[in-house]
Chain A
């Protein structure tokens, strides 16, 4: 089975490398982008299984990228995890409104981030399977 591709975008090189190191260790192929436009292009061409996006990025920020992904049928169901240095409720709310599935507040534990990524991928995988439970329900 091919390794799932995870797209990671952050304008801070060191954080990009940190996330890449940790996620590679968990068995993902990690693609990186340093700005929102590159992230969006990669999301459309490289068919990642999940995107980890920093909120504050040049060109397009993480929220704009998330909205663009949601608006495009090809990427509408791509799980998105936001990285944010802004921990206030309203910032988190804006992220989830934009269509993100989850968020992690900086500074984060790489271990905890890897766990979130794996749980989001599991949920996405289950959602993509036809539900056996629903098929057995008889029509009234």
Chain B
């Protein structure tokens, strides 16, 4: 035993452990509270913006419309940050509570792709699905959150003219979902930090790509809750692939 530890009694260690646990709980409660408190002023911001810019609003000058669209974009960013924090707090405090059912990952992936298609189109990225039926025991809402997060990252870090491909395949005992992009890639030394909370790659920060650094840690928690695993393969300047593997299930299960 190292000398520094020799003088610490078992009771002291237990007390310290307890204290750290309480601090952790407090932090989660704080995040949840702050997120809720942020939602109220955001309600006024987005609500009154809608009244100002909606179909029955007074005509606006070009400059007013431009300024309001900046306010609106910022409010959207703030809202997505609040949602991520709240989701993270939920994941950290109670864990991911699953509402399990048998579902086809291919169908789910296609739904998520359809929702992301307008973003891909507006950014000139070809978003394609290559799927075959793949049944898993899972929670539809959490798994959709997972796919949405992976898709949103892939689209965020890929430039115009690039591709994002989603593959869902079924093997003997497992099903796999892969999201590949032809984006900026992730440096090898940063790949194992990717799933830590608030971690952002140097490239992401330098290029001022918006994000909270929470998405992949939320993805990791969802994957863990489904007894799955996630891995990443990436080459700087040529692209990244995120591969999630889950145990497969019988359709009749």
Chain B residues near A89 (CB-CB < 8 A): 97, 99
A-B contact count, CB below 8 Å? 49
Q: How far is the CB of A55 from chain B (nearest CB, A)?
A: 10
B51 A110 Cβ-Cβ under 8 A: yes
Q: How far is the CA of A26 from the CA of B46 in the complex (A)?
A: 19
Is the C-beta of A18 less than 8 angstroms from some C-beta in chain B? yes
A107 B79 Cβ-Cβ under 8 A: yes
Q: How far is the CA of A25 from the CA of B47 in the complex (A)?
A: 14
Best-surrounded residue of B40, B54, B99 (most CB of chain A within 10 A): B40
If A12-B40, A110-B51 touch, does A25 touch B56 (CB 8 Å cutoff)? yes
Chain B residues near A109 (CB-CB < 8 A): 46-47, 50
Q: How far is the CA of A110 from the CA of B51 in the complex (A)?
A: 8
Q: How far is the CA of A15 from the CA of B43 in the complex (A)?
A: 7
Flag the segment in A33-41, A60-68, A80-88 that touches B: A80-88
Is the C-beta of A70 less than 8 angstroms from some C-beta in chain B? no
Chain A: interface residue total (CB-CB under 8 A)? 18
Q: How far is the CA of A140 from the CA of B209 in the complex (A)?
A: 70
Q: How far is the CB of A132 from chain B (nearest CB, A)?
A: 37
A106 B54 Cβ-Cβ under 8 A: no
Q: How far is the CA of A87 from the CA of B43 in the complex (A)?
A: 14
Is the C-beta of B212 less than 8 angstroms from some C-beta in chain A? no
Q: Other than A14-B44, A107-B47, A109-B50, give 4 A-B pairs with Cβ distance below 8 A.
A: A15-B43, A21-B51, A25-B56, A108-B43
Residues in A lying within 8 Å of B, measured CB to CB? 12, 14-15, 18, 21-22, 25, 85-89, 106-111
Residues in B lying within 8 Å of A, measured CB to CB? 36, 39-40, 42-48, 50-51, 54, 56, 79, 83, 86, 90, 97, 99
